[in-house]
């Protein structure tokens, strides 16, 4: 039986994003996340020009699909930074995120500063972008976990 990923000359790829929150207490600050970008399915409908063509290479979530809130600050002079990291295995894509309308930052498997602020803040909107999708990537289910933590500065 042919187990080819090609069905009628088309490639099917399903991408699953899981955004979980790991709360790492540092001082009295807390960070919470709500929302997720899940079940992004890439299939024949995403071919640029039909059978035999390349897949659309970039996908973007809606703005504010995930919202972060920072609490536990002692006042407006209490500053903090949010750090972000991605954890997965065999992730062939580029995942980026941005706060509000800011610039996208690539999320890697190495923790990096994401943004900073001051005082208690609610509903900070995040948007995500998936890039480097291609028919050359083995069809399958791919997932990653994004972890955020807040550090008192």
Task: Give me the pLDDT at residue 9, please.
Answer: 41
Whole-structure pTM over 0.75, yes or no? Answer: yes
Sign of CA dihedral 55, 35, 19, 149: positive
Is residue 32 assigned to a domain?
Answer: yes
Total domains in the chain come to 1
Q: Which ranges in 74-150 belong to alpha helices (H)? A: none
Task: Give me the pLDDT at residue 64, please.
Answer: 96
Is residue 1 assigned to a domain?
Answer: no
Reduced to 3 states (helix: H, G, I; strand: E, B; else coil), residue 45 is helix
Domain containing 92 equals: 6-152
Return d(Cα 12, Cα 135) in angstroms, integer: 9
Encode burial over 42-77: b for 16+ CB neighbours within 10 A, e otherwise: beeebbeeeeeeebeeebebeeebbebebebbeeee
**pLDDT band for position 6 (cuts 50, 70, 90):** very low
Please give the average per-residue pLDDT across 36-50, as a whole number. 89
- 17: domain CATH number? 2.60.40
């Amino acid at each position: 039986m042919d187990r080819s990923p090609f069905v009628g000359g088309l490639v099917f790829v399903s991408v699953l994003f899981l955004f979980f929150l790991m709360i790492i207490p540092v001082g009295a600050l807390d960070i919470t996340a709500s929302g997720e970008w899940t079940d992004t399915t890439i299939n024949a409908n995403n071919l640029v020009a039909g059978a035999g063509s390349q897949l659309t290479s970039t996908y973007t979530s809606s703005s504010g699909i995930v919202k972060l809130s920072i609490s536990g600050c002692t006042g407006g002079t209490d500053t903090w930074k949010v750090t972000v990291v991605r954890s997965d295995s065999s992730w062939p894509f580029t995942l980026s995120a941005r706060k509000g309308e800011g610039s996208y930052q690539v999320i890697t498997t190495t923790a990096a500063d994401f943004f900073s602020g001051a005082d208690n803040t609610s509903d900070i909107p995040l948007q995500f972008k998936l890039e480097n999708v291609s028919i050359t990537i083995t069809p399958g289910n791919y997932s990653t976990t994004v972890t955020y933590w807040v550090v008192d500065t």
